[in-house]
Amino acid sequence: MRVAALYDIHGNLPALRAVLADVDALACDTIVIGGDVALGPMPRETLDLLATRGDQVRFIRGNCDRVMGSVLERAPDHSKSWEPLARWAAERVTPAQRAFLGGLPTTLELDVEELGTVLFFHGTPRSDVEIITRVSLESRLVPILSEVGPHVLVCGHTHVQYDRNVLAKRLINAGSVGRPYEAEPGAYWCLLGPAVELRRTVYDVVEAAREIRASRYPDVENFISSNEPDPSLPGKTSEFFESKALEQESPPRD
């Protein structure tokens, strides 16, 4: 089995279309959507496109999927800066799609050619908001990963791609399809089987920006700026998320 791991699409339909073309060219058997699929400019269109793939696609839930599934069921919380974006996206998908997002599993195991059992999750195996980065110290990761069975682990959440060995495991961040924090523009994802290949799909980000602006997404200019080249961005982002990780409560928040 060859698996394409597509994480953090964030409703970026042009990026997803480009990656799916690469996935088809590489004859991938399974597509794993690793969380945070729809919260972004084109949430319904993104979910509709993935639905056309049927059983080829397997989903796990990210923190944004969980929020989109329930945010319209409660009064607005004006203390959360991200809530207007979540409500905007949730209002643009169907009730069935919101229920689908909220009910997704948090982990997935697949047997992948030459790699054995691979465990997919969004943040960490125990939480969709807990953070692990390419600079996380092994000592911090012991309580998070040491009891996990599979040798190969695939995550997302921080939007920075990496492949590292830690605690006798191979820890891979697939990167972000829709809003990468990387040095070069494009859509970042991972191909698994028989090897591990960190991939970047190049697409027309200028035309994509035009399409994204037409969505009238509230955070549109910040969203578009994610695809502007910045060699320092992966390092700065990793350090930022690592500092946030050290602030997180233990045990992790639900």
Q: State the CATH number of the domain containing residue 175.
A: 3.60.21.10
- Of the listed ranges 36-40, 86-90, 221-225, the least confidently predicted one is 221-225
Q: DSSP readout, 63-120? A: HHHHHHHHGGGS---TT-TTHHHHHHHHHTS-HHHHHHHHT--SEEEEEETTTEEEEE
Beta partners for residue 199, in sequence order: 189
Helix (H) or strand (E) holding 13: helix 13-25
- Cβ(133)–Cβ(68) under 8 Å? no
Whether the predicted model's global pTM rises above the 0.85 cut:
yes
* In a domain? residue 113: yes
- Cβ(44)–Cβ(17) under 8 Å? no
* In a domain? residue 93: yes
Q: Over the chain, what is the mean pLDDT?
A: 94
Determine the pLDDT at residue 254: 41
* In a domain? residue 253: no
Q: What distance in Å separates the CA atoms of residue 23 and residue 30, rounded to the nearest whole number?
A: 9
Total number of domains constituting the chain: 1
Determine the pLDDT at residue 75: 85
Could you tell me the two tokens for 16? Answer: 């997803």
Walk across the sheet containing 30-33 and list its strands.
57-59, 30-33, 3-6, 187-192, 196-201
* In a domain? residue 252: no
* In a domain? residue 124: yes
Domain with 142, as residue range(s), is 3-247
Determine the pLDDT at residue 69: 96
Determine the pLDDT at residue 230: 87
Q: What distance in Å separates the CA atoms of residue 9 and residue 227, rounded to the nearest whole number?
A: 13
* In a domain? residue 254: no
Token pair 């905007």 is at which residue? 88
* In a domain? residue 78: yes
* In a domain? residue 155: yes
Q: What distance in Å separates the CA atoms of residue 26 and residue 190, rounded to the nearest whole number?
A: 12
